[in-house]
Amino acid sequence: MKSESLWYIFINASLINNFVLAYFLGICPFLGVSGKMETASKMGGAVTFVMIISSMCAYGLHALLTAINAPFLQLISYIVVIASTVQLVEMFIKKMSPALFRALGIFLPLITTNCAILGLALFQTNKGYGFVESFVYALGAGTGFTFALILMAGLREQLNFAEVPNLVKGTALTLLIAGILSLSFMGFAGLGS
């Protein structure tokens, strides 16, 4: 994988193949916590942190599992690592900022079942990234996720002042906006290659 420069990996993960808008990973928090700008950016930060840690661990685990010839344990060990990282972050946030802890609510433990994180670990294994590449890939994916979340939150804050028919309110409207966002992200294709 020497042909891909680190810069390209970053741009690819954050913009061209944005995890939320092109791969549909992490849709649940994307729809759930994108109501407010502040919560959205902090959620993005937490997810990015978990992504980086679990991506590093996944790299080590993959090497270990290949060494002991047990690839069928891949999924189980990845999910355990992610779950424990999330537990750690949860305790950290609870201690540091109880207000943020309440704002994130159920979505904090749900980071465990955020497909973006497991997806990231699986993709980097499939692509055969090395240690540094994995780190950059995780950083890019986290940035892309945060970026999408913040964009969405900004739009939804504006929408609060708009008159919307009752029928469209809620998830349907959010999905429509996500569709338009996804369309505009297609414009990034070809960037950085």
Partner 1 sequence: MLNKTKDKAETGFLASLKDSPSTDEFIKGLWRENPVFVQVLGMCPTLAVSNTAGNAMAMGLATTFVLLMSNMLVSSLRNFIPKQVRIASYILIIASFVTVTDYMIQAISVDLHKALGAFISLIVVNCLILGRAEAFASKNTIGKSFLDALGMGLGFTFALLCLGAVRELVGNGSLFGYALLPGSYQEWVVMILPAGGFFTLAIWLLLFNGFKAKSQKA
Scanning the structure block, which residue is given the tokens 């996720």?
145
Question: Exposure string (b/e) for 100-134, b if CB count within 10 Å is 16 or more?
Answer: bbebbeebbeebbebebbbbbbbbbbeeebeeebb
Work out whether 155 is an interface residue with partner 1 (CB under 8 A): no
Q: Which stretch binds partner 1 (CB under 8 A): 19-27, 33-41, 143-151, 154-162?
A: 19-27
Work out whether 91 is an interface residue with partner 1 (CB under 8 A): no
Q: Which stretch binds partner 1 (CB under 8 A): 40-48, 88-96, 146-154, 182-190?
A: 182-190
Work out whether 188 is an interface residue with partner 1 (CB under 8 A): no
Of 99 and 166, CB closest to partner 1: 166
**Gap between the terminal Cα atoms of the chain:** 14
3-state helix, strand, coil in the chain (%, to 5): 75, 0, 25
Work out whether 72 is an interface residue with partner 1 (CB under 8 A): yes
**How many binding residues for partner 1 (CB under 8 A)?**
41
| Contacting residue, 26, 44, 140, 144, with partner 1 by CB under 8 A | 26
Question: What is the CA angle 115-66-12, rounded to 5?
Answer: 40
Please, what is the minimum distance in Å from the beta carbon of residue 150 to partner 1? 18
